[in-house]
Amino acid sequence: MIGFLDSFYPWIKAIHIMAVIAWMAGLFYLPRLFVYHAERAKVGSELDQTFQVMEERLLRVIMNPAMIVAWVAGLIMIGLGAFDWSAAWSWIKIVSVIAMTGAHGWMSARRKEFAAGQNTRTGRTYRLFNEVPTVLMLLIVIAVVVRPF
Protein backbone atom coordinates (compact mmCIF):
# COMPACT_ATOMS: atom_id res chain seq x y z
CA MET A 1 0.00 0.00 0.00
CA ILE A 2 1.06 3.56 -0.53
CA GLY A 3 2.90 5.16 2.44
CA PHE A 4 0.62 7.53 4.32
CA LEU A 5 -2.55 5.78 3.11
CA ASP A 6 -1.59 2.66 5.04
CA SER A 7 -3.03 4.14 8.22
CA PHE A 8 -6.37 4.82 6.49
CA TYR A 9 -6.78 1.30 5.13
CA PRO A 10 -8.59 -0.10 8.22
CA TRP A 11 -11.02 2.84 8.11
CA ILE A 12 -11.69 2.36 4.41
CA LYS A 13 -12.23 -1.36 4.97
CA ALA A 14 -14.61 -0.67 7.89
CA ILE A 15 -16.59 1.81 5.78
CA HIS A 16 -16.71 -0.73 2.96
CA ILE A 17 -18.06 -3.46 5.26
CA MET A 18 -20.71 -1.14 6.77
CA ALA A 19 -21.84 -0.02 3.32
CA VAL A 20 -22.04 -3.62 2.10
CA ILE A 21 -24.18 -4.56 5.12
CA ALA A 22 -26.60 -1.70 4.42
CA TRP A 23 -26.69 -2.49 0.69
CA MET A 24 -27.32 -6.18 1.32
CA ALA A 25 -30.10 -5.41 3.79
CA GLY A 26 -31.85 -3.46 1.05
CA LEU A 27 -31.20 -6.13 -1.57
CA PHE A 28 -32.80 -8.70 0.73
CA TYR A 29 -35.76 -6.51 1.75
CA LEU A 30 -36.83 -4.84 -1.52
CA PRO A 31 -37.86 -8.06 -3.32
CA ARG A 32 -39.97 -9.00 -0.26
CA LEU A 33 -41.72 -5.64 -0.53
CA PHE A 34 -42.32 -6.40 -4.21
CA VAL A 35 -43.86 -9.78 -3.32
CA TYR A 36 -46.44 -8.17 -1.03
CA HIS A 37 -46.95 -5.24 -3.39
CA ALA A 38 -47.67 -7.57 -6.31
CA GLU A 39 -49.92 -9.88 -4.33
CA ARG A 40 -51.88 -7.53 -2.09
CA ALA A 41 -52.04 -4.01 -3.49
CA LYS A 42 -54.38 -2.95 -6.26
CA VAL A 43 -53.02 -0.24 -8.55
CA GLY A 44 -53.93 3.19 -7.20
CA SER A 45 -55.02 1.92 -3.78
CA GLU A 46 -53.77 3.37 -0.52
CA LEU A 47 -51.72 0.20 0.03
CA ASP A 48 -50.19 0.59 -3.44
CA GLN A 49 -49.17 4.15 -2.55
CA THR A 50 -47.70 3.00 0.78
CA PHE A 51 -45.59 0.32 -0.92
CA GLN A 52 -44.42 2.83 -3.51
CA VAL A 53 -43.18 5.21 -0.80
CA MET A 54 -41.45 2.38 1.09
CA GLU A 55 -39.77 1.02 -2.06
CA GLU A 56 -38.66 4.43 -3.32
CA ARG A 57 -37.21 5.51 0.02
CA LEU A 58 -35.44 2.19 0.53
CA LEU A 59 -33.73 2.62 -2.84
CA ARG A 60 -33.02 6.36 -2.62
CA VAL A 61 -32.06 6.69 1.03
CA ILE A 62 -30.40 3.35 1.83
CA MET A 63 -29.59 1.16 -1.15
CA ASN A 64 -28.23 3.67 -3.69
CA PRO A 65 -25.92 5.51 -1.25
CA ALA A 66 -24.75 2.22 0.30
CA MET A 67 -23.98 0.74 -3.12
CA ILE A 68 -22.01 3.84 -4.13
CA VAL A 69 -20.02 3.89 -0.88
CA ALA A 70 -19.34 0.14 -1.13
CA TRP A 71 -18.06 0.55 -4.69
CA VAL A 72 -15.94 3.62 -3.93
CA ALA A 73 -14.37 2.09 -0.81
CA GLY A 74 -13.81 -1.18 -2.66
CA LEU A 75 -12.12 0.58 -5.56
CA ILE A 76 -9.92 2.55 -3.15
CA MET A 77 -8.87 -0.71 -1.49
CA ILE A 78 -8.08 -2.18 -4.91
CA GLY A 79 -6.01 0.91 -5.65
CA LEU A 80 -4.16 0.38 -2.38
CA GLY A 81 -3.23 -3.16 -3.41
CA ALA A 82 -5.79 -5.19 -1.49
CA PHE A 83 -6.55 -7.38 -4.48
CA ASP A 84 -4.62 -10.30 -5.92
CA TRP A 85 -5.39 -10.11 -9.63
CA SER A 86 -3.73 -13.48 -10.24
CA ALA A 87 -6.07 -15.31 -7.84
CA ALA A 88 -9.42 -16.76 -8.87
CA TRP A 89 -11.13 -15.47 -5.69
CA SER A 90 -10.52 -11.89 -6.81
CA TRP A 91 -12.22 -12.47 -10.14
CA ILE A 92 -15.11 -14.35 -8.54
CA LYS A 93 -15.66 -11.40 -6.20
CA ILE A 94 -15.49 -8.80 -8.98
CA VAL A 95 -17.90 -10.70 -11.24
CA SER A 96 -20.28 -11.32 -8.32
CA VAL A 97 -20.23 -7.65 -7.27
CA ILE A 98 -20.98 -6.63 -10.86
CA ALA A 99 -23.86 -9.14 -10.88
CA MET A 100 -25.07 -7.72 -7.54
CA THR A 101 -25.03 -4.26 -9.09
CA GLY A 102 -27.05 -5.64 -12.00
CA ALA A 103 -29.57 -7.11 -9.55
CA HIS A 104 -29.81 -3.70 -7.90
CA GLY A 105 -30.50 -2.14 -11.30
CA TRP A 106 -33.15 -4.77 -12.08
CA MET A 107 -34.92 -4.00 -8.80
CA SER A 108 -34.74 -0.29 -9.48
CA ALA A 109 -36.43 -0.83 -12.84
CA ARG A 110 -39.16 -2.94 -11.20
CA ARG A 111 -39.77 -0.17 -8.66
CA LYS A 112 -40.36 2.25 -11.52
CA GLU A 113 -42.86 -0.19 -13.06
CA PHE A 114 -44.78 -0.38 -9.78
CA ALA A 115 -44.73 3.43 -9.55
CA ALA A 116 -46.18 3.66 -13.05
CA GLY A 117 -48.82 1.02 -12.27
CA GLN A 118 -47.27 -1.28 -14.87
CA ASN A 119 -46.02 -4.26 -12.88
CA THR A 120 -46.69 -7.48 -14.79
CA ARG A 121 -44.72 -9.86 -12.60
CA THR A 122 -46.16 -12.13 -9.93
CA GLY A 123 -45.16 -12.47 -6.31
CA ARG A 124 -43.55 -15.78 -7.27
CA THR A 125 -41.14 -13.99 -9.62
CA TYR A 126 -40.04 -11.70 -6.82
CA ARG A 127 -39.76 -14.61 -4.37
CA LEU A 128 -37.42 -16.40 -6.78
CA PHE A 129 -35.44 -13.23 -7.48
CA ASN A 130 -35.02 -12.74 -3.73
CA GLU A 131 -32.56 -15.66 -3.83
CA VAL A 132 -30.21 -13.94 -6.29
CA PRO A 133 -28.58 -11.55 -3.76
CA THR A 134 -28.28 -14.44 -1.29
CA VAL A 135 -26.41 -16.65 -3.77
CA LEU A 136 -24.15 -13.77 -4.81
CA MET A 137 -23.42 -12.90 -1.17
CA LEU A 138 -22.46 -16.53 -0.47
CA LEU A 139 -20.11 -16.55 -3.47
CA ILE A 140 -18.48 -13.27 -2.41
CA VAL A 141 -17.99 -14.18 1.24
CA ILE A 142 -16.63 -17.65 0.46
CA ALA A 143 -14.35 -16.31 -2.27
CA VAL A 144 -12.91 -13.59 -0.02
CA VAL A 145 -12.76 -15.39 3.33
CA VAL A 146 -12.17 -19.04 2.45
CA ARG A 147 -10.36 -18.41 -0.87
CA PRO A 148 -10.89 -21.95 -2.12
CA PHE A 149 -9.39 -21.14 -5.53
Distance CA 132, CA 106 (A): 11
The model carries a pTM of: 0.93
% of the chain surpassing 70 pLDDT: 98
> Average pLDDT of 110-127?
98
- pLDDT for 1: 45
> Average pLDDT of 34-42?
98
- pLDDT for 3: 64
Give the ranges where 3-87 is alpha helix by DSSP (H). Answer: 9-40, 46-57, 64-79
> Average pLDDT of 5-22?
93
- pLDDT for 22: 98
Instruction: Let me know: does 115 contact 52? Beta carbons within 8 Å.
Output: yes
